[in-house]
Amino acid sequence: MLNFVINNMNVKNISLLVRLDKPIGTLLLLWPTLGALIVAAHGMPPLYVTVVFSLGTFLTRSAGCAINDALDADFDRHVQRTQNRVVASGVISKKQAAFIGLVLNLLAFIVAVICLKANTVWLSLPAVMMSITYPLMKRFCPLPQAYLGIAYSFGILMAFMEVAGALNYISGMLFVANLLWVVGYDTVYALVDKADDLKIGIKTAAITLGKRVNGFIIICYTGYFLLYVMVGIILALNIWYFLLLLFVLALLIYQIIVLLTGHVSQYFRLFLLNNWVGLIMFAGLFIGFR
């Protein structure tokens, strides 16, 4: 048992497993969660709640990476972008990666139980289960991005439950908006690996939708943007919020323009641009209540 735990389990390999060198996934999960905390608190959520949600986001995303690599190792070996991951390359075993993922999920759950309200903790359970099972969806679900979008949006519901004490139509609008955004940018991400995914038999929205994929992404991004416009109007946010929304719109339009050119080599860069979309939207909500 000791050899199983310590074999190749040094800090460097573990950090690569949980993507400490690639924080984009954590940030894409964090920005809308922090934004929801701001909306639920009408401006300024308690500091300790912000810290707990930030820590929970980091732990659960890290856990998801470890479990994803454990389940997808046999696929990752055949994809150029992922073939050098520590599990796919054999540096860390599947069992070790799964063990790390379960430990991180357990730590996140302990933090939630100690620091958050009971109803918030209950909401975290389906989110954790969905993040664990997401890699399996790529085996048979034609739109696994939708499954990921739901999992990535549970933090919004948890934020409202913790700060406001209940869910409402605003939390529902933010949930749907984030779901559309995640589905959109993860479909862009899937386009990067489309050729390899076709060879190994993984299902993604990029494959399922075929030539309709660009229109699908446009619909997702449009819905995301319009829902945040409606949220700003309903909450009577100030002019700075809507000015920052224009920057978000520009980034979304730019992604669509590049997608329509069909230059696959640019798609991963487009996916990364969504970190700025999330950051600016978060900043807009923060400033919008001032």
Q: Where are the domains of the chain?
A: 8-126+139-288
So what's the pLDDT on residue 6?
Answer: 53
Sign of CA dihedral 73, 75, 78, 80: negative
Q: CA-to-CA distance for 74 and 161, rounded, in angstroms? A: 39
| CB-based contact 277:26 (threshold 8 Å) | no
| CB-based contact 97:89 (threshold 8 Å) | no
| CB-based contact 86:124 (threshold 8 Å) | no
pLDDT digits 0-9 by tens, 222-246: 999 999 999 999 999 999 999 999 9
Q: Name the percent of the chain lying above pLDDT 90.
A: 76
Tokens in use for 244? 């920052």
pLDDT digits 0-9 by tens, 165-218: 999 999 999 999 999 999 999 999 999 988 888 888 888 999 999 999 999 999
pLDDT at 45 over 70: yes
Lowest mean per-residue pLDDT among 9-23, 113-127, 153-167, 212-226: 9-23
So what's the pLDDT on residue 7?
Answer: 60
pLDDT digits 0-9 by tens, 1-41: 445 455 666 888 999 999 999 999 999 999 999 999 999 99
More confident residue, 181 or 135: 181
So what's the pLDDT on residue 11?
Answer: 84
So what's the pLDDT on residue 2?
Answer: 43
Q: CA-to-CA distance for 194 and 206, rounded, in angstroms? A: 7
DSSP-derived secondary structure for 151-208? HHHHHHHHHHHHHTSS--HHHHHHHHHHHHHHHHHHHHHHHHTHHHHHHHT---HHHH
Q: CA-to-CA distance for 127 and 208, rounded, in angstroms? A: 25
So what's the pLDDT on residue 155?
Answer: 95
Q: What is the average pLDDT across 117-133?
A: 91
Tell me how crowded residue 228 is: count the other CB atoms within 10 A of its CB. Answer: 25
Q: CA-to-CA distance for 216 and 120, rounded, in angstroms? A: 33
Report, at the CATH architecture level, how domain 8-126+139-288 is classified.
Answer: Orthogonal Bundle (1.10)
So what's the pLDDT on residue 27?
Answer: 96
Sign of CA dihedral 143, 146, 147, 148: positive
> Residues 241, 242, 248, CA angle at the centre, nearest 5°?
95
CA distances from 68 to 73, 75, 95, 141, 203 (A): 8, 11, 12, 16, 15
So what's the pLDDT on residue 274?
Answer: 97
Q: What is the average pLDDT across 123-144?
A: 88
